[in-house]
Structure 1
Amino acid sequence: MASVVQFRVHPVKVPLLRPFTTAVRSADTLETVLLELVDDGGCTGWGEAPISRVTGVSTAQVLAAAEEMLAPLVLGTKTGAFRETARDIAASAAPAAARMAADCALHDVAAAAAGLPLAQFLVRSYPGLSGGTGQHVGSGRLLTDMTLSVDEAPALAAAARGYADTGFRCLKVKLSADGDPVGRLLAVRNAVGPGIALRVDANQAYTAKEAIAAIRGMEAAGVGLELVEQPVPAGDLAALAEVRSRVTTPIMADESVWDRSDLDALLACGSADLVNVKLAKAGGLYPAIELVLRARAAGLGVLVGCMLESTVGIGSAAALAAAAGLNGTFPGSSGQDLDGGLWLREPAVTGGPAYAGAEILLPDLPGLGIRGLAAQVASRS
């Protein structure tokens, strides 16, 4: 049985194609930390810790956590007995984003050592994840939505039309507290027609009263929203429940749910119809799988999302969605929320998952199939 013998961290910065703007931040560069594990058989595994105000960590904090807390847990792990180490990572005091990197790299190297694509490895390792169907998941294609940054109606309409013309069938529109949300979404709907699914993400921008007025206005105008994501502050589950009870559009929680205790509190309050599970919030695949199973058992819709991150993190998230069969259920059937890597001007790694328009392609190779850092990224690291 192979053992993990190398633990390498790679601080990375990659320029974006265009600014990424939400209600809480604007970025023109991806800052992230990639983690590479190597076992004594030569197999590698990759994970990612995205850096931002949203994940709440700096590169320095991730590097310190990796060296002081995570490397001692992971080095020496037998890849065939990875779950015990995954539990230890989940229980550590490291920030969630740092735990994500270590957990995902561990799953990836274990999958590579087993000779299985990561999605297929997850099905085998977590029997309940595939919904009890016993489905065989290997390589695959998953749809993703595409995010439209906060902007005025004409710019949103033009961007939406461009994405629809290139094959995206689901668009997520970011909103801030200022401006006319109904006018902006009407402009988008008029630009793309009725065949494109539209989602709204307010990133906590509204009070309950403001959110109800905005969503009802969109409903009355016939915008035809698929869902509204996190319209109110994360910690105010009562406000989220109030919004849900007073509109007909499904409400999805994002920032409100990071871990199992958050999900249990959300369920107790009846605050949402759906939940967006992100590896950087949960701390990797092991805890994210627990969230998916718990949410699904409680009747919540589940979407797998991402931060602004490279195809390293996107690949692990896409493998989770594929293994859980979420690409065949609402809202994942319209597209997972995994467009973060499409904002990068250049790839961070060679090999591995890739985008083809609105699709994420998972290679039929062991693990994620990542070969190494991209040359231009390595030269700057």
Structure 2
Amino acid sequence: MVKVVKFNIYKYRLPLQSEFRISFSATSYTEGLIVEAFDENGRKGYGESSPSSKIVGTTTDSALGIIRKIAGDILARDLSPWEAYKQISSSVIHNGDAKAAIEGAILDLYCQEINQPVYKCLGGYRDFFITDMTIGIKSLDETLMDVQKYLEEGFTQLKIKVGEGPEKDVAKIKAIRERFGYDFVLRVDANQGWTFKRALKIAKELEKYEIELIEQPLKYWDLRGIKALRNQTSIPIAVDESVHTAIDAINIIREDVADVINIKIMKAGGILEGLKISLLSESAGIKNMIGCMLETRLGITMAAHLVGLTENIVYIDLDSDLSLRQDPVKGGVEHLGGGKRKIPNKPGFGVVIDKSQLQLVETIEQGRASEYF
């Protein structure tokens, strides 16, 4: 059981190494919140919120308000992880990133008390995995330079963001394969950027280039279109924005829409809801991918512990921290190079936070809340 007696909420705004562009947005920085929870013994647990107005429907300011509400609901209560999950889930609908931040801090505290890493504490089995590296929408020359760079660094799996139209999207993949060959995994992600006609044309063209999967080709709500596309191409289809929670996953499974369901804990509301999605998917014979927003290493560490819990997550895209110019989070999941990542055998998430890179915006204790902005 965990009893949280105090929360500190910190804001971060961190530069990326270069602009990151997808089909519907572009940014040169990432902004979010880190929650610090204290238990009765003075231990500290951490969780992260990485908002996205166009995917989760949240901003940093709105996430702060939701975190404030959830924190007030669970403050000074003795809760197990699953009791906390139920309380957090029932506090508000949607707002997955805010829920994930609170849940993460509680799981961190709980597993520190048991003296085990989170994934082991919850019954997991693996501490090593390989992630892909994502390349945003760039010019063809810039894309080829990035592919060369990451292959030279030892990455064996790459994900290419697309959504510029049939000619540019196909030409980019064709150029990658012609220059660098087929000795590495290649995935593409349209982030809802295609119409059905465009998606079918592009998918047919891409079949010759050994694409492992196409992620979210159509709008998140167009399940009929995604299913129709899946039935007309040999490339596996993954859904991302179409699935936030286990309820969404049930709809995908029931309607036989996709081959792969992408889990993001910032959409789902935390590790435990992500685990539910994975167990449902596994029961239905559907594999999982796990992805990220633009989290620091804390959010990536949280997601990594979900990877450690289930063998059904076979496609891994946990790389956002590798794109930051600076990261206030030390420890946590390690990057050994070339996409190889290892969860350390440390209690909880095993992270250390450099608060000099953060702004304290609020403290919540029983009977009072203090704002610092």
TM over 0.5: yes
Point out the more displaced range, 48-57 or 110-119.
48-57
Q: Kindly indicate whether residue 195 of structure 2 is the aligned counterpart of residue 207 of structure 1.
A: yes
Residue type at the aligned position of 1:20: F
The alpha-carbon deviation at position 356 of structure 1 amounts to 2.6
Residue type at the aligned position of 1:149: G
Point out the more displaced range, 249-258 or 182-191.
182-191
Partner residue, 1:144: 131
Where in structure 1 are there 5+ consecutive unaligned residues?
124-129, 131-135
C-alpha distance in structure 2 between counterparts of 1:343 and 1:20, whole Å: 9
Residue type at the aligned position of 1:167: G
Partner residue, 1:315: 301
Partner residue, 1:127: none
C-alpha distance in structure 1 between counterparts of 2:205 and 2:356, whole Å: 49
- Superposition RMSD in Å: 1.8
C-alpha distance in structure 1 between counterparts of 2:65 and 2:214, whole Å: 37
Partner residue, 1:176: 163
Point out the more displaced range, 52-61 or 253-262.
52-61
Question: Contact 1:158–1:191 at 8 Å: present in 2 too?
Answer: no
Question: Contact 1:23–1:150 at 8 Å: present in 2 too?
Answer: yes
C-alpha distance in structure 2 between counterparts of 1:372 and 1:167, whole Å: 29
Question: Contact 1:14–1:377 at 8 Å: present in 2 too?
Answer: no
Where in structure 2 are there 5+ consecutive unaligned residues?
362-371
C-alpha distance in structure 2 between counterparts of 1:360 and 1:19, whole Å: 24
The alpha-carbon deviation at position 2 of structure 1 amounts to 5.0
Distance 1:5 1:148, change over 3 A: same
1:294 to 280, 286, 289: 280
C-alpha distance in structure 2 between counterparts of 1:144 and 1:226, whole Å: 14
Residue type at the aligned position of 1:346: Q
Partner residue, 2:108: 108
The alpha-carbon deviation at position 326 of structure 1 amounts to 4.4
How many residue pairs get matched? 358
C-alpha distance in structure 1 between counterparts of 2:73 and 2:171, whole Å: 52
Partner residue, 2:368: none
SS at match of 1:180: helix
Partner residue, 1:76: 76
Question: Contact 1:347–1:374 at 8 Å: present in 2 too?
Answer: no
SS at match of 1:272: coil
Provide Cα deviations, 1:178-199, integer angstroms capped at 9, x if missing partner: 3421110011122332111000
C-alpha distance in structure 2 between counterparts of 1:315 and 1:353, whole Å: 5
SS at match of 1:350: strand
Residue type at the aligned position of 1:366: P
Question: Contact 1:46–1:101 at 8 Å: present in 2 too?
Answer: yes
C-alpha distance in structure 1 between counterparts of 2:109 and 2:213, whole Å: 36
The alpha-carbon deviation at position 374 of structure 1 amounts to 4.7
Partner residue, 2:354: 373
Partner residue, 1:338: 318
Partner residue, 2:96: 96
Question: Contact 1:117–1:368 at 8 Å: present in 2 too?
Answer: yes
Provide Cα deviations, 1:213-269, integer angstroms capped at 9, x if missing partner: 1010011xx211000000000001000001100000000010011112211211222
Partner residue, 2:365: none
The alpha-carbon deviation at position 202 of structure 1 amounts to 0.1
Provide Cα deviations, 1:92-117, integer angstroms capped at 9, x if missing partner: 21511111111111111111111101
Residue type at the aligned position of 1:194: Y
- Taking only the aligned residue pairs, the percentage that are identical comes to 29
Distance 1:352 1:375, change over 3 A: farther
Partner residue, 1:58: 59
The alpha-carbon deviation at position 371 of structure 1 amounts to 2.3
Partner residue, 1:185: 173
